[in-house]
Structure 1
Amino acid sequence: MKKDNILWITTIICFLPLILSFGVYDKLPEVVPIHFNYAGVPNNYVPKAVGAFGMPVLMAIINIFIHFKLNNDPKKMNSPSALKYLGKWSAPIISVVLVPVTLFIALGYKIPIQIITSVVVGVIIVAVGNYLPKCKQNYTVGIRLPWTLNSEMNWNKTHHMAGYLWIFGGICMIILGCMQMKSALLTLIILLAIVVIPCGYSYWIYKKGV
């Protein structure tokens, strides 16, 4: 599939929730939730016009920006195709899943948003972790630090270790969601670990002069 076709298809998919928005707009309350705490309780709201129509438009803009970044990376050939496709499909997937869920919650439906979010994020982390070791040096995808970009060996070692760590962290996120464990602390620890540990490991390799 040509990259221009993928951009058009993914952008159209980002707009698909607008069909639901038009259908339920008159039934929506004046404000709709767009953010929830880890217990699934809304803690941030926007006018219903923004929630119903603005969010799909925002996801479409984000989608176009992601495509632009990935397609114009000078070293784009070094990124695994699967990882680039994952990046290009992330915005439309989020749009068609989370926008309708948000609208249904605004309509009074009891939907466990925290479980859905934890499982979706966990699956994405596992998928990314699976391809990190196959990701070669580039300026868009991966753990882009001064030390990884300066040394191919540092890049490879860091991404090899990070791949296993992200898969483990993603599985933990999925388990948290499936077991309905509403622990913001555990989620924060997992997310911090998969980000901070690879960065620290990369710096340690750099300081050792490996």
Structure 2
Amino acid sequence: MIRQHKKMILLTSIVTLLPILIGLLLWNRLPDTVATHFGTDNQPNGYSSKAFAVFGLPAMLLFFHLLCMVFTSMDPKAKDISKKIFLVVLWICPLTSLFVCSTIYMYNAGYQLNVQYLCVILVGILYLILGNFIPKTKPNYSIGFRVPWALYDPDNWYHTHRFGGKCMVVGGIAMIVTLPFQNIWLFLALAVIPCILPGIYSYLYYRKTFKSDH
């Protein structure tokens, strides 16, 4: 899988490191101690050196990006992972790197940003994208709702991911629509529930088919 997508992996790796160039261009506008973590009140509660913010964060995301590629390629069912969904996964870390680092640079350069709102919008859009692609995935151990009842029953996998895709889309829309009322508990609920419901659905589908077979 890595050989088949080596050009795209190279491109996404370069994009993941692109914030380093942006950080160097803004170097003189950034303080020596940079706010890199924010609380639910939109106030910084974690700080790092300027060098770590510019070089360390993109490097860490590149590490996770490549690690994800390696583990996905080692999947025994890697050949069943569709090209489209793999490309979506390929772009998660690069876009996250651009978003996170750009937000940190802009905040520390003096721009007034609501970091919480921006993060909610990012996750909401991600859920919308994944919700449209997840129903098209075939059984594998890397991408999707990998509960045992779905992994070992293609029919269960199909129906679970059709349902799960709808949950992700609804969750993403709900995050964006409720943005003016957002707080940490509402965000966690809207983020976690769409991931839990498909697992419950998969089990109930398994119980239903098990009873009908016996």
1:117-142 deviation per Cα after TM superposition (whole angstroms, max 9, x unaligned): 11111111011111222111011110
How many Å separate the matches in 2 of 1:202 and 1:39? Answer: 37
What residue is the counterpart of 1:145 in the other structure? Answer: 147
Which residue of 65, 84, 87 corresponds with 1:82? Answer: 84
Q: Distance in 2 between matches of 1:113 and 1:159?
A: 31
SS at match of 1:16: helix
Partners of 1:25 and 1:18 in 2: how far apart?
10
What is the one-letter code of the residue matched to 1:111? Answer: L
Query: Does the aligned pair in 2 maintain the 1:128–1:166 contact within 8 Å?
Result: yes
Unaligned runs of 5+ in 2: none
Residue 131 of structure 1: which of 125, 130, 133 is its match? Answer: 133
Question: Is the 8 Å Cα contact of residues 39 and 182 (structure 1) preserved in structure 2?
Answer: no
Name whichever of 38-47 and 151-160 sits farther off.
38-47
Measured after TM superposition, the shift of residue 205 of structure 1 is 2.4
In structure 1, the partner of 2:157 is 155
Match of 2:117 in 1: 115
Output one character per residue of 1:7-51: Cα deviation in whole Å (capped at 9) or x when no partner.
Answer: 111111111111122233344223222222333222222222211
Measured in 2, the distance between the counterparts of 1:83 and 1:43 equals 36
Question: Normalising by the residue count of structure 1, what TM-score does the alignment of the two structures yield?
Answer: 0.90
**Which residue is equivalent to 1:25?**
27
Does residue 73 in structure 1 map to residue 75 in structure 2?
Answer: yes
- Aligned-CA RMSD value: 1.9
SS of aligned partner of 2:91: helix
Alignment match, 2:183: 183
User: What is the percent sequence identity of the aligned residues?
Assistant: 28
Distance (whole Å) between structure 2 residues aligned to residue 107 and residue 194 of structure 1? 36
Q: Distance in 2 between matches of 1:124 and 1:78?
A: 22
SS at match of 1:50: helix
SS of the residue corresponding to residue 21 of structure 1 reads: helix
Contact 1:70 1:76 in 2 (8 A): yes
Number of positions where the alignment pairs a residue of Structure 1 with one of Structure 2: 208
Partner of 1:199: 199
TM-score, scaled relative to structure 2: 0.89
**Higher mean C-alpha displacement, 92-101 vs 43-52:** 43-52
- Structure 1 gaps of 5+ residues are none
Look up the match of 1:39: 41
Checking the alignment, whether the CA contact within 8 Å between 1:149 and 1:155 is kept in structure 2 is yes
For 2:146 and 2:134, the matched residues in 1 are separated by: 12
C-alpha distance in 2 between matches for 1:136 and 1:198 = 15
Amino acid at match of 1:116: L
Q: Matches of 1:130 and 1:93 in 2, distance apart?
A: 18
Could you tell me how far apart the structure 2 residues matched to 1:84 and 1:73 are?
Answer: 12
CA contact (8 A) 1:38 1:182 kept: no
Moved over 3 A (4+): none
